[in-house]
Amino acid sequence: MDEFNLQTKSVYGTVKVCVIRKEIKNVHLRVYRDLSVKLSVPFAVKDEWVENFLESRKDWIVGKLEVYRSTDGHNNLLELRSGSSTQMLGKDMRIIKVKADKNAVEQDEKKIFVYLKDDKDETSLSRSFGAWWREQAAEIFGEQADLLYNSVFRKYGIQKPEIVIKKMKTLWGSCTKSRNKITLNEYLLKADILCIQYVILHEMTHLLYPNHSASFYNFLTVHMPDWKERKKQLDMEVVQGL
């Protein structure tokens, strides 16, 4: 793994790019929500080519960094406090801390109320909210997975996959075909339901097509013709808790 410094005239100054050499045929450049930049290239690619390629993609990299920075920080689930906000199912939600006889969490159209016996205990706030959030994610993701399995995948004779919810830094979801398991990022609950459906369909499709082949994308397009628009909305509008 190598690190290249890309000089920009933006507020980011020098951008560090992690270059990973692999047994692949094509290059893959990605900018992540934690503002890290990674470039995967075949082993035979020389440093001079990498430098020229990164220079040619400089404006694109800076544009991506700007998008992620402009949407970060105002809804971070890792630093909860009363009055902070987050997204949930594509809507902005205000988190309100309330002193009460017992710990509980409730929501209405615009607010999430976290009831606490000790309203000064920030650890209790995070623990109560986090448990409630994961319960909501498990319920909603499970419902959508059942709908997609029954309407699309059951007829192909595959077993309904196990749905696992966890925090993931750079992925919305993953598929472990050998264990018939779909793992979904708990922060995906921030997304509109159409985006959630796209991620679940994407990962379930890997049960039929392990790689991102032409057949994989053809299957996606047949069963969700607007998947590209949903993916773009997810990448542009939804902020992870990083």
Q: How confident is the model at residue 16 (pLDDT cuts 50, 70, 90)?
A: very high
pLDDT, tens only, 110-132: 999 999 998 777 788 888 999 99
Q: What is the pLDDT of residue 33?
A: 64
- 91 lies in a domain? yes
- 190 lies in a domain? yes
Domain extent for 66: 2-71
Same domain, 27 and 124: no
- 79 lies in a domain? no
pLDDT, tens only, 37-94: 999 999 999 999 999 999 999 999 998 888 766 544 434 555 566 667 788 998 888 8
- 212 lies in a domain? yes
Work out the percent of the chain whose per-residue pLDDT is above 70. Answer: 90
- 26 lies in a domain? yes
Q: Residue 99: CA atoms inside 13 Å, Cβ hemisphere, count?
A: 4
3-state secondary structure 134-199: HHHHHHHHHHHHHHHHHHHHHHHCCCCCEEEEECCCCCCEEEEHHHCEEEEEHHHHHCCHHHHHHH
Q: Based on the structure, what is the number of domains in the chain?
A: 2
pTM above 0.85, yes or no: no
pLDDT, tens only, 189-237: 999 999 999 999 999 999 999 999 999 999 999 999 999 999 988 877 7
Q: What is the pLDDT of residue 235?
A: 79
